[in-house]
């Protein structure tokens, strides 16, 4: 995965709530690089021809979290933890 350009507002809010503190691009990129990619980011079209993007999913078992990334725009979109 290339270096992140940034985070969505949702990601920043969820990181603060679920992980704590303010995320840094360096730290989040490092976590993603140490994670297992579960799913690639893919673009689709719905049956009525609307665009739909399935986000890449990275799982880091040591930190017990999942990060969803739009690799087309290099944006971290959300972070998930067990106690959500």
How far apart, in whole angstroms, are the C-alpha atoms of residue 60 and residue 64? Answer: 6
What is the C-alpha separation between 71 and 55, in angstroms, rounded? Answer: 7
Summarize pLDDT for 4-47 with one digit per residue, the tens: 889 999 999 999 999 999 999 999 999 999 999 999 999 999 99
pTM, to two decimals: 0.90
pLDDT at 27: 94
Residue 68 in this model has a pLDDT that exceeds 90: yes
| CA 13 – CA 64 distance, rounded (Å) | 18
Q: Which residue has the tokens 């930190």?
A: 63
- Extents of the domains making up the chain: 6-80
């Amino acid at each position: 995965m290339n270096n992140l350009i940034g985070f969505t507002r949702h990601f920043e809010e969820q990181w603060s709530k679920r992980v704590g503190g303010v995320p840094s691009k360096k730290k989040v990129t490092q976590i993603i690089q140490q994670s297992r990619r579960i799913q690639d980011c893919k673009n689709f079209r719905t049956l009525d021809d609307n665009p739909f993007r399935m986000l890449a999913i990275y799982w880091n078992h040591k930190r017990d979290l999942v990060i969803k990334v739009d690799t087309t725009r290099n944006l971290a979109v959300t972070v998930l933890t067990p106690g959500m």
